[in-house]
Chains A and B, each alone.
Chain A
Amino acid sequence: DQQVKQNSPSLSVQEGRISILNCDYTNSMFDYFLWYKKYPAEGPTFLISISSIKDKNEDGRFTVFLNKSAKHLSLHIVPSQPGDSAVYFCAASPFGNEKLTFGTGTRLTIIP
């Protein structure tokens, strides 16, 4: 049972445009959500997080939106840059930064 789903395995976006990556979850016990970015041959690196008491968190070009009623979160990257090309994982946890459940990832390709 996949509790965290990223239904788009890949996404291509023109440089300078907005990239929107989506994630859905089923477990209502999740109260902390994170996005990680992964380059080939490297481990995931933390990008941005949001707790369930918020519906938006912003950090530079990255914004995460959380819709608790729809059990949906999204990551917006604007403007998109070639260095953003990577695999993006969303993750969720009922206990802050521990016991993370990951989605399957979305491969983002930024087209110059």
Chain B
Amino acid sequence: GAVVSQHPSWVICKSGTSVKIECRSLDFQATTMFWYRQFPKQSLMLMATSNEGSKATYEQGVEKDKFLINHASLTLSTLTVTSAHPEDSSFYICSALPGAPQETQYFGPGTRLLVL
């Protein structure tokens, strides 16, 4: 089956620093990748949709200058949390959508971010 990896799986950082999370589709090309965030006891919330080679589309309420998304290739998307603050602590998960019709999103294992 299709595999999506994320790196790192968890990260602890100081307030004010930036953190980059990578999402890779290992055995397929992903025309579209998605970034979600999940707070404890809440559902996965879509943050943004990124298509290879174009700017990401952000959901309402998500600051595009704070959550920088780059989808430079068909197998890699990155999410950078800039100037992270404790309220950014969350579980970030990506998914990738192959180009074939009727395909489903394949999810990575997630990255847990803790900002001190």
Q: Which residue of B lies closest to A96 (CB)?
A: B102
Q: Is A49 interfacial (CB-CB < 8 Å)?
A: yes
On whether the beta carbons of A104 and B42 are closer than 8 Å, the reply is: yes
Q: Which residue of B lies closest to A41 (CB)?
A: B109
Q: Is B107 interfacial (CB-CB < 8 Å)?
A: yes
Known: A43-B4, A43-B93, A43-B95. A97 touches B105 (CB 8 A): yes
How many of A's residues come within 8 Å of B, CB to CB? 21
With beta carbons under 8 angstroms apart, the residue of A4, A42, A98 that contacts B43 is A4
Q: CB-CB < 8 A to A44: which residues of B?
A: 44, 107
- The A/B interface has a contact count, at CB < 8 Å, of 50
Q: Is B97 interfacial (CB-CB < 8 Å)?
A: yes
CA distance A42 to B4 in the complex (A): 10
With beta carbons under 8 angstroms apart, the residue of B46, B107, B109 that contacts A99 is B46
CA distance A44 to B32 in the complex (A): 17
Known: A2-B43, A89-B43, A104-B42. A97 touches B109 (CB 8 A): no
Q: A98-B34, A101-B43 are in contact. List 6 more A-B contacts (CB 8 A).
A: A43-B93, A43-B106, A43-B107, A46-B105, A89-B44, A100-B34
